[in-house]
Amino acid sequence: MYQVMAKLTNKTLIKPIRKPIANVIGSLFLSAACLGLAACQGGSDGSGGVRGEPGAKSGTAIMVQGSDTMENLMEQWARNYMAKNTGIQISVQPGDTGSGVADLLRGKIDLATASREMNAAEQKLAHDTPVRLKRLMVARDAVAVVVNPQNKLKTIDLGDLEKIYLGELVSWDQLDKSFAKEPIRVFGRETSSGTSDYFQEHVLKGKPFGTVVKVMPSSEAMMGAIMGNRLAIGFVGMAQAEMATDKVRVLQLKLTNASPASAQGGALSGSDYPLSRPLYLYYSAANEARVKKFVDYCLGPDGQKAVSSMGFMPAR
């Protein structure tokens, strides 16, 4: 559906055509996509704060919604930016990648945060409308596989992880003979989650979750469920997991049973941990004048310093 023309700059232009192509994930360069979309319009939370409900349009209000992996990072960016720019309101709404992209396509928000690229249905809707969208990679993160802090398991390979989520491995003693024969309580995320989409693509090879998987509505709900069940396993963004060590413990990953265990945590979460992915901001090119200074801040030295301090990998 899109023809990609890479330039020796920090931007990539995507032009609508009829034939679909494979996903393109940038390295540490900034990427931008021009797609057909519905126009974006801003709203204000009316409180000057980071969170709020959509309200009246304002030239100084920026509405943000999307990936809950990026929610804390976006709130930090918003607080820091508003502290230095009086009169600007940035309202960050909870949600997930799917809801953020959907509301951006409907013109309800100014910026959508995303932990994946747009899927086929979103690309089709974008292709059918006449407004351009820009996509910028603003950070990198890993999808961390997590268990209850009481769990003695230290490492897991991707093959066994796939079998757990397909319902083929159902007991902890099947992973380690020294463990008791107790059921593995498996938790996942809803299909609109960018983290879930990435996990299913790279761990399950595109297959759906098995019936053993209990789907949770948010990363916070996932971590709460794992904290409350010593037999649980799940996945969240690495930066989120590192801020919740009282709730979950990150497993080291191996590509295969014979592979060395991965490193994990901090800056390593985007390079050494096998399940790493880029994080994006999407916005309408027609709305660029209103959001560009804030987006530039997110990609600038201060914004990227916040990225590192919160356990993500910088985009630059």
Task: Give the total number of structural domains in the chain.
Answer: 2
On whether both 205 and 288 belong to a single domain, the answer is no
DSSP 230: T
Render pLDDT for 187-246 as a digit per residue (tens, 0 to 9).
Answer: 999 988 999 999 999 999 999 999 999 999 999 999 999 999 999 999 999 999 989 999
pLDDT tens per residue across span 58-112? 456 999 999 999 999 999 999 999 999 989 999 999 999 999 999 998 889 999 9
User: Residue 276 has what pLDDT?
Assistant: 86
Grouping H, G, I as helix, E, B as strand and the rest as coil, residue 198 is helix
- Co-location of 12 and 106 in the same domain: yes
Chain-centroid distance of CA 101 in Å reads 12
Same domain, 60 and 71: yes
**Do 106 and 121 fall into the same domain?**
yes
Supply the pLDDT for residue 60: 67
Under 8 Å between Cβ of 22 and 123: no
Give CA angle at 242 (238, 248), nearest 5°: 95
CATH number of the CATH domain containing 179:
3.40.190.10
DSSP string, 131-162: B-EEEEEEEEEEEEEEE-TT----EEEHHHHH
Lowest-pLDDT choice from 9-23, 190-204, 294-308: 9-23
Based on the domain organization, do 242 and 305 belong to the same domain? no
* Same domain, residue pair 71 and 193: no
Query: Are residue 52 and residue 125 in the same domain, yes or no?
Result: yes
- Enclosing domain of residue 157: 142-270
Position with higher pLDDT, 219 vs 128: 219
Tell me: do 14 and 132 sit in the same domain.
yes
- Indicate whether 154 and 46 sit together in one domain: no
**Please, what is the angle between helix 288-299 and helix 301-309, to 10°?**
60
Same structural domain for residues 150 and 243?
yes
Strand ranges, E, within the chain: 2-6, 12-16, 61-66, 89-93, 111-114, 133-147, 155-157, 185-189, 213-216, 232-237, 249-250, 252-254, 276-284, 313-314
pTM of the entire predicted model: 0.74
